[in-house]
Structure 1
Amino acid sequence: MSRPTTPRRPVRATGERPAARRTAPASGQKKPVQKKQVRKKAAPSRRGRGGSGGGRRTPWPVRLVRGIFGAVWGAGWRLAVFAGMILAGWVAVVYSTLPPVSQMMDGRVRGSVTLMDREGETFAWRGDQYGGGVHADSVSPDLKHAIVATEDRRFYMHPGVDPIGIAGAMRINMSEGRSPLSGNGGSTITQQTAKLLCVGRAFDPSSGQTEAQYEAECRESSLARKAREAIYALAMEVKYSKDEILTIYMNRAYLGAGTRGFEAASQLYFGKPASQVGPAEAAMLAGLLKAPSRFAPTANLARSQERANVILGLMEDQGYLSHEEAEDARAHPATLSAAAANRTGGYFADWVMGVVPEYYGKGTTEDVTIRTTLDMKMQQQAEAALAEVFRTKVRAGSEAEAAIVVMGADGAVRAMVGGRDADVPGGFNRAVQAKRQTGSAFKPFVYATALDLGYSYNDRVEDAPLTINVPGSGPWTPQNYSRNFRGWVSLTQALEDSLNIPAVKVSEAVGRQNVIRVATDFGIDSTMFNGPSLALGVSEASLLELTGAYAGILNGGQSVAPYGLTSLSVRGETGPVMEKEGGIGERVISRDASQQLVYMMNQVVEHGTGHRAKLDGRPAAGKTGTTSSARDAWFMGFTGDFVVGVWMGYDDNTPLTGVTGGGLPAEIWHEVMVRINQGRPVTPLPMITPSQNQPERMVGGGQGGSQGQGGQATPQIPVPDLSKLPEQAQGLAERIMRDVRGLFGRN
């Protein structure tokens, strides 16, 4: 029997009330009126945000804070988006101006000058040295790692600006008592490269800005400048790869001693390319980045090695070197190459740089190579000789200075010492720049004039009291150094003993203008004093001028122009743009006159005031010179091969104490000559062999002090030594000489 079917209840959602059952109204009944139900508004929940329940409202301070925070947040992210858009636009603009990497590697304002000695070995550099472009993937890995470990350990991780590094630098600055932005800057390699590039602004000489002003502007460290560098760094990171940025940095960094880039520095300091440096050398090069001049190994090798040890520690800490490799590098520190360690020749280099045209020298924008006459061995020997004499024969603490020039007979300068400190690039060069009175070192030009006019080395002159009336000055009475008189002496004896009165008499007899002409033609370029004291060396000259003039005496009486450059080449040119083969010029005095003069100067060394300069087994000729109050002391002389000039004195003209040209200068000259001639065959001097029957004449007629117009003593007709004639002929000879004087209107 089936169950009665029960209607299924409709399924409703939980909590849904069942709808009121609707029944149709009975027929005839009115539809009931339903009341409109008014829904009550729900009471606010007592559970506030963060509350534990209940219907309390949030306190107004909280609502105020929330409102302010919401406003700030809303404005902040909008401003951030706006600033980001500006930043991106700025970076994009800078990005569009960045050239290819190849155009950014050599950014020097000046070119370089490489100076080579006569053997072709480099001995000095001037200007901004650039060894050529290197790339991050072509240098030694040790060098690449040393740079990154030293300057920017997160280089390969940051986008050009390193907030972590900046925060660390600020913390260090404050811990050391400085302001957060003073001292360490936290700059990345990319930012440093931006600084080296001067944020894209190249030097323009036509702008009126000097190079120094331009570089100062590029090094500016204001906040505005750092912001520009940061923008430029970000643009570089977008434009270039990390290794390309590192390549630019490695080629533009200044590394001391005038070097730009790691290739130039590696070649200068170690004599090898940057691709071949080991850990110790790489650490030393990277250590220069902090303070190139201070840590340059040419300035202080020990300090540079200490700095390198710090870099080795960083490389070890960052995993670039094992402990064993770092210890081995510390045990075998980097040392300078022979060329870099040799710090001689600086004065010579400065002199050569001063005589080449500006556009090939100090102002060059090209890379120039100059071959010179410098003999590095002689240079070292000259410096050693000077140091030895001052060490053994000059009181400790003396501030007296000295200078030396070594020259060939053709004017080629082989060595130059401009002062006791041999390593002063750009310093005061006393061999070239100091103009000093020459004293008796000038007398050979007086006698050269007389010999060229026909006088003989054996002619005689009276050493007797002399007074000359000088217009505007009154009577002038010269004195000999010994304050006594020798009577009649030969010209050779007068020069040998450096007698003053005979030198004045000869000068007056041959004419001062003639003496000035001969000295000038021999190469003394200074203005001469045209007075009777001319013969005593009151005019000034440089040591280089005087040495060149003596070289003219050695080479037979022809003028000499001192020179140090033999050829000058510019990188990229097929051949030299300048060449020099010799400095011999026109004849000044006859060869016979020069040979007589060389003999007279040989007697100065053999028997006279220059006897301390005498060389064993090698003939030499020379002349001493001491000026008034001993403010200057000279010894000038030569062997058959070389001329050497020595000057000694104080820079402030303080008189020397107990020093004359025949003393310390002669001993310095002797030391130099012994060293530079060691092992060389003996070359005879180009001088006469004195004749026993050489006739003698009198110079000045023994009239001491006869005066013509203009205050100049009237030159006297040479008078033979009548005492050597037979007694019966003396009277006749005297009458003839009186008649000759009468013809010329002379007494």
Structure 2
Amino acid sequence: MSGNGRKQPPLVAERRYRAKAQPATQADQKKAGARKAPARKPRRSAKKQGIFARILGFFAGILRWILRIVWGIGWRIGLVTSIIIGLGVTYYAMQLPAVTDLVDGRARGSVTLLDREGRPFAWRGDQFGGMITADTVSVHLRNAVVATEDRRFYWHPGVDPKGIASAVRINLREGRGPLSGNGGSTITQQTAKLLCLGRPYDQSVWPTERDYEADCRRTTLWRKVQEAVFAMAMEVAYTKDEILTIYLNRAYLGAGSRGFEAAAQRYFSHSAAEVTPAEAAMLAGLLKAPSSLAPTNNLQRSQDRATLVVGLMEEQGYLSASAAEEARTNPAELSSEAREQAGGYFADYVMDTGPSYFTQNTTEDVIIRTTLDRRIQAAAEEALLYVFANEVREGSEAQAAIVVMSADGAVRAMVGGRDTRASGAFNRATQALRQTGSAFKPFVFAAGLDLGMSPNDLVDDSPLTIDVPGSGPWSPQNYDRQFKGQVTLTQALAESRNIPAVLISEQVGRENVRTVASMFGIESDLAAGPALALGASESTLIEMTGAYAGILNGGSSVTPYGLVELRLQGDSEPMMGSGGGIGERVIREEAARSLTWMMYNVVEQGTGNRAAIDGWELAGKTGTTSAARDAWFVGFSADYVIGVWMGYDDNTPLTGVTGGGLPADIWRETMLRVVQGRTPMPLPMTAPAGGAGQSIDPSASERPLTDEALDRALESAFGPAQTPQTDQSSTEDAVMNVLNNILNGN
């Protein structure tokens, strides 16, 4: 090879072939093999690792590609969503009115009923106690609501993601849907729901307010989204305290109370600004389930819930340990007004008799002052419960009703059934039409006395048969199946003898009896046949009690009433006054005083002697209908009339009960409590002059009216100014024709 004078490095080929030129020893071969073996293994592992790395790289690339796509789409969606939410928040925030326009969202008004002393005793419709604010309520109440409903209320922007996540986790763990059960709603979200997301009540969309509220409470995913947006809008438009103010005024808290002010007044009879920690805890506890937890429904359940709220308040630092222990040891109690729950039947009666546009359908808040006397109401309730607990067999489904009334028709108490705390139930005192039996007889005797009969007149208590057109012969019987011959009117009424009552009715004329009964206030259809005298007609307890009040007041009719005056809340002048009271005269005062004396003998020595009270002059009349389906006792002292009815709702006959039995016992127990601590007053009655009077002629079918009775009938029909002023001798037949038409209802 030619060179350039430089030494050339050995060729690779020379190194490669040098191994052949110099064979290695066996030891060298072993060493070489030992060195080469590890070199071959890494080459195989590297190959595998390379494949694995390429696979990982491939999938990593796909993942990065997916993530880039997701991120590219996600941030765009997030941006669009944020813009939409922002626009929604802005829109709602701009639509929200002033706070004062949102505190009372009721479409209908309420009625508050006051007793005769001006104290509230019953409420109808949803009550709103007036606007309160987060600053004016008791600090304990504000803290109790926040601690119970939303502990992070003052920190979140209207929506609490942590609370929502916790609620979803609890719901799933308990086997419910993610939106069922715990909602994780903040106070702001709850307020948004109370406002129905700003949608006002529209009767064309929702038939009733109940339907409207049910729709507002619906929970769907879309509704929750809207609720969250609306809540955030509220956070933009209002301060936290303003949101809390709306919530405190709008929340429903049971027993018809809308807002914490109405609830505090309803349960504790004082303002929400004055509630104690225990009372605040009870009110806040109602938010979970207002109706079932209401203390008027179950006080113990409400107190147990309040104990949990007290624990939350202590845990969050709103109550010291000593204050919390005090609240647990002395839980909130109902006020005496709330505890009594008096007069539910009476309240229903007033609501039914008042104008519907101010009662059932009112759009205003109405205050009604009534005639209710809470002491007498309690007396009637206690009396009924006492007799049923001590004298009625266990398991009996018999019912009873009581009405207590003044002589002018003012209803002082009413019990419409054995469930004395009922409200909105069937009222047997005003709605049950029942046969009156012998309780009707005083109107028969009233007609006779008004036409000139005397309590000492004689009537023949002997077997009697009357031919009734269309029905054939009718032979009434006495209750004891005996006949006593000649008896006085007083004895006949005291012993409730049927034959004398029929004879008197036939002699004075059934139409005269109907006129007297209807003018005294018996408005139901009265029987046309001779059984009229025995109470074959139906009436209500309040009608019968009102009719007896007419006897007590000297013979003038009364219209029972419970409403004294009605005014709108905030107004000092009433919109209307009483719709009842004493009306026109029905019978002469002398006749009423004589009848009262006869009814006094019913209690003293007749069928009503179980109603007697030592030292008191009392008058009354028993009544028992065919097969004992109804039993009555109606009577009076000098001041009060009390009516009692007893029977079964399905007309099942009473067993061993007459008007002189259990009804008289209920009447006596009621009157005992009514007159307790009072000075006995004499009855307005007149005893007849000594000796027996004239005998009642059983063959006389009708007795002509006296001139005075004729004048009263004409005056009743035409009015004083329109009574015909003509020569009676020339027009007697015409006047009698007119009178007959009046009495016949023509």
Letter in 1 for 2:291: S
Letter in 2 for 1:490: T
Could you list the per-position Cα deviations for residues 260-304 of structure 1 after superposition, in whole angstroms to 9, with x for gaps in the alignment?
111111112112211121211110000000011111111111111
* 2:461 alignment partner, one of 460, 463, 469: 463
Matches of 1:423 and 1:698, distance apart in 2: 50
Alpha carbons of structure 1 residues 175 and 479: separation in structure 2 relative to 1, 3 Å = same
The aligned counterpart of 2:230 is: 232
Q: CA deviation at 1:100?
A: 0.6
The aligned counterpart of 2:335 is: 337
Alpha carbons of structure 1 residues 622 and 71: separation in structure 2 relative to 1, 3 Å = same
Matches of 1:314 and 1:417, distance apart in 2: 43
Find the residue that maps to 2:686 and give its secondary structure. Answer: coil
Alpha carbons of structure 1 residues 66 and 457: separation in structure 2 relative to 1, 3 Å = same
The aligned counterpart of 2:724 is: none
Find the residue that maps to 1:458 and give its secondary structure. Answer: coil
The aligned counterpart of 1:48 is: none
Alpha carbons of structure 1 residues 206 and 458: separation in structure 2 relative to 1, 3 Å = farther
More deviation in 657-666 or 684-693? 684-693
Could you list the per-position Cα deviations for residues 626-684 of structure 1 after superposition, in whole angstroms to 9, with x for gaps in the alignment?
01111110000011111010111111111111100000111111111111112222221
The aligned counterpart of 2:667 is: 669
Matches of 2:696 and 2:326, distance apart in 1: 82
Alpha carbons of structure 1 residues 160 and 532: separation in structure 2 relative to 1, 3 Å = same
More deviation in 470-479 or 53-62? 53-62
Matches within 5 A, 1:303-452: 303-452=301-450
Q: CA deviation at 1:589?
A: 0.8
Indicate if the aligned counterparts of 1:547 and 1:643 stay in contact, CA closer than 8 A: yes
Matches of 2:441 and 2:636, distance apart in 1: 16
Indicate if the aligned counterparts of 2:147 and 2:316 stay in contact, CA closer than 8 A: yes
Q: Which runs of 5+ in 2 are unaligned?
A: 1-48, 706-746
* Greater fraction of residues in helix: 2
Indicate if the aligned counterparts of 2:408 and 2:581 stay in contact, CA closer than 8 A: yes
Q: CA deviation at 1:340?
A: 1.3
The aligned counterpart of 2:166 is: 168
Indicate if the aligned counterparts of 2:554 and 2:593 stay in contact, CA closer than 8 A: yes
Matches of 1:223 and 1:208, distance apart in 2: 22
Alpha carbons of structure 1 residues 134 and 699: separation in structure 2 relative to 1, 3 Å = same
Find the residue that maps to 1:226 and give its secondary structure. Answer: helix
Matches of 2:179 and 2:53, distance apart in 1: 54
* 1:294 alignment partner, one of 289, 292, 313: 292
Letter in 2 for 1:585: G
The aligned counterpart of 2:106 is: 108
Could you list the per-position Cα deviations for residues 669-704 of structure 1 after superposition, in whole angstroms to 9, with x for gaps in the alignment?
111111111222222112112211453232324x8x
Matches of 2:53 and 2:547, distance apart in 1: 115
Matches within 5 A, 1:78-97: 78-97=76-95
Q: CA deviation at 1:550?
A: 0.2
Tell me if 1:77 matches 2:64.
no
Q: CA deviation at 1:225?
A: 2.2
Matches of 2:415 and 2:117, distance apart in 1: 19
Matches of 1:227 and 1:503, distance apart in 2: 79
The aligned counterpart of 1:184 is: 182
The aligned counterpart of 1:284 is: 282
Indicate if the aligned counterparts of 2:545 and 2:641 stay in contact, CA closer than 8 A: yes
Matches within 5 A, 1:699-738: 699-701=697-699, 714-715=701-702
* 2:573 alignment partner, one of 547, 561, 575: 575
Instruction: Please give the TM-score of this superposition, normalised by the length of structure 2.
Output: 0.85
Tell me if 1:242 matches 2:250.
no
The aligned counterpart of 2:681 is: 683
The aligned counterpart of 1:275 is: 273
Could you list the per-position Cα deviations for residues 592-612 of structure 1 after superposition, in whole angstroms to 9, with x for gaps in the alignment?
111111111111111111111
Find the residue that maps to 2:145 and give its secondary structure. Answer: helix
Indicate if the aligned counterparts of 2:457 and 2:692 stay in contact, CA closer than 8 A: no
More deviation in 245-254 or 534-543? 534-543
* 2:561 alignment partner, one of 553, 560, 563: 563
Could you list the per-position Cα deviations for residues 328-355 of structure 1 after superposition, in whole angstroms to 9, with x for gaps in the alignment?
1111111111211122211111111111
Q: CA deviation at 1:155?
A: 1.1
Q: CA deviation at 1:207?
A: 5.0
Q: CA deviation at 1:215?
A: 1.7
Instruction: Please give the TM-score of this superposition, normalised by the length of structure 1.
Output: 0.85
Tell me if 1:605 matches 2:603.
yes
More deviation in 203-212 or 242-251? 203-212
Could you list the per-position Cα deviations for residues 506-563 of structure 1 after superposition, in whole angstroms to 9, with x for gaps in the alignment?
2122222211111111011111121111111111111111000000001111000011
Matches of 2:55 and 2:394, distance apart in 1: 96
Q: CA deviation at 1:716?
A: 6.8
Alpha carbons of structure 1 residues 582 and 355: separation in structure 2 relative to 1, 3 Å = closer
Matches of 2:697 and 2:568, distance apart in 1: 57
Q: Which runs of 5+ in 1 are unaligned?
A: 1-50, 704-713, 719-747
Alpha carbons of structure 1 residues 160 and 479: separation in structure 2 relative to 1, 3 Å = same
Letter in 1 for 2:280: A
More deviation in 611-620 or 225-234? 225-234
Matches of 2:647 and 2:505, distance apart in 1: 27
The aligned counterpart of 1:155 is: 153
Find the residue that maps to 1:85 and give its secondary structure. Answer: helix
RMSD between aligned residues? 2.0
Letter in 2 for 1:506: I
Could you list the per-position Cα deviations for residues 112-152 of structure 1 after superposition, in whole angstroms to 9, with x for gaps in the alignment?
22211111222112211111111111111111111011111
Indicate if the aligned counterparts of 2:619 and 2:635 stay in contact, CA closer than 8 A: yes
Letter in 2 for 1:124: A
Matches of 1:353 and 1:96, distance apart in 2: 43
Matches of 1:509 and 1:221, distance apart in 2: 75
Letter in 2 for 1:628: S
Q: CA deviation at 1:224?
A: 2.4
Q: CA deviation at 1:58?
A: 7.7
The aligned counterpart of 1:708 is: none
* 2:625 alignment partner, one of 603, 624, 627: 627
Matches of 1:677 and 1:54, distance apart in 2: 105
Find the residue that maps to 1:411 and give its secondary structure. Answer: coil
* 1:494 alignment partner, one of 462, 473, 492: 492
Letter in 2 for 1:507: S
Matches of 2:200 and 2:601, distance apart in 1: 65
Identity of aligned residues (%): 62
Letter in 1 for 2:405: M
Q: CA deviation at 1:717?
A: 8.7
Matches of 1:62 and 1:672, distance apart in 2: 93
Matches of 2:672 and 2:53, distance apart in 1: 114
Alpha carbons of structure 1 residues 177 and 208: separation in structure 2 relative to 1, 3 Å = closer
More deviation in 176-185 or 94-103? 176-185
Q: CA deviation at 1:167?
A: 1.2
The aligned counterpart of 2:481 is: 483
Matches of 2:248 and 2:697, distance apart in 1: 75
Find the residue that maps to 2:452 and give its secondary structure. Answer: coil
The aligned counterpart of 2:548 is: 550
Matches of 1:297 and 1:353, distance apart in 2: 24
Indicate if the aligned counterparts of 1:700 and 1:715 stay in contact, CA closer than 8 A: no
More deviation in 567-576 or 618-627? 567-576
Q: How many residues align?
A: 657
